[in-house]
Amino acid sequence: MTSVTWFKLVTVAGLLVGQILCKRQYIEMTHEIHDRVVTYPGMPKFNFTNLERGDKRGFWVEYNKFQLSEHAGTHIDAPIHFNQHGRYLHEVPLDNLVGPGVIVDITHRAKRDRRAEVNVEDILRWEDTHGKIPKGSFVIMKSGWFRKYPDTTQIFGVDVNRFPSTDFRFPGISPAAAQWLIDHREINGVGGDTPSPDRGGGSHMRTHLIILGANKVILENVANLDKVPPSGATIYALPINLHRGSGGPLRIFATLNDGEDFDYSGSGRSLPLTGATLFCVLFVKLMY
């Protein structure tokens, strides 16, 4: 084979390796909705009723109906939830539902203290490592609570049928951190893997009031935070388009390697092309 043929072969191999390594990934961040869907105590229970299942019409037909609190399982709070003048769910613009993921990990602290909070220092530490929080971000607390789902007693820290909400014990985002984010960064919202960004046991919903008061959204009971990197993911927090909803069930997921598509425009976003170029340079060095 001539060196030109070799060069072409190596280029193709480089592109393939680059494509495999840098393929866009999708990460599910939503708990499934089923009979054990976790709601705040007092919210109506999930009800799923089959209306038809079978082939008596000569072909298979299956359909159901269900009833669900807006605020059940993995869900979004629209600003109107705690802000009389805030947006309803159908009024939240789509570009406020997609943005960079800022995952703030307090798992270790939450293991020792069930009422641990993301505080301003945690956010500044995140920025020291990953840079300034990008515009449109979702700042999401990772406490490890997603692993307890759907065990309500484990999540709330007590038997919710016997104890008042003042006895609940789960981590959250401090009101001071929420206020700092609103004052100093342009976020789309906050979230976490617990039922509320206000830690269990009472903070008078101050974090809710600050975030929703600024017309931002809150994402609750987010799943699989061990699979989402601290920075670099894009979060898609997509609720149903419920007219006058105060919130609603979410399908939330993250994507990684968003610049993976082959890109010949010269914008420099394509990792596969960079991989291929490196292969070629190495090959030419070895040959000559």
Q: Which residues would be at the binding site for Zn ion (CB under 5 A)?
A: 71, 77, 247
Least separation, in Å, of the C-beta of 133 and Zn ion? 23
Give the end-to-end CA distance of the chain in Å, rounded to a whole number.
16
**Between residues 71 and 199, which has the closer beta carbon with respect to Zn ion?**
71
**Between residues 75 and 283, which has the closer beta carbon with respect to Zn ion?**
75
Give me 155's structure tokens: 């999540």
Residue type, 87: R
Query: How far, in Å, CA of 279 to CA of 274, rounded?
Result: 9
Give me 177's structure tokens: 């951190």
The dihedral built from the CA positions of residue 196, 201, 203 and 204, taken in this order, carries a sign that is: positive
**Between residues 218 and 273, which has the closer beta carbon with respect to Zn ion?**
218
**Between residues 191 and 272, which has the closer beta carbon with respect to Zn ion?**
191
Least separation, in Å, of the C-beta of 247 and Zn ion? 5
Least separation, in Å, of the C-beta of 61 and Zn ion? 35
Query: How far, in Å, CA of 185 to CA of 174, rounded?
Result: 16
Asked whether 219 and 248 are in contact (CB, 8 A), the reply is no
C-alpha pair distances (Å), 161 with each of 25, 79, 147: 40, 29, 22
Least separation, in Å, of the C-beta of 31 and Zn ion? 14
Asked whether 193 and 30 are in contact (CB, 8 A), the reply is no
Least separation, in Å, of the C-beta of 78 and Zn ion? 9
Q: Which of 19, 95, 97, 28 is closest to 259 using CA atoms?
A: 19
**Between residues 73 and 201, which has the closer beta carbon with respect to Zn ion?**
73
**Between residues 103 and 212, which has the closer beta carbon with respect to Zn ion?**
212
**Between residues 247 and 249, which has the closer beta carbon with respect to Zn ion?**
247
Least separation, in Å, of the C-beta of 80 and Zn ion? 12
Q: Which of 250, 246, 249, 247 is closest to 84 using CA atoms?
A: 246
The dihedral built from the CA positions of residue 71, 78, 225 and 115, taken in this order, carries a sign that is: negative
Least separation, in Å, of the C-beta of 190 and Zn ion? 12
Of all residues in this chain, which one has the CB nearest to Zn ion in the complex?
Answer: 71
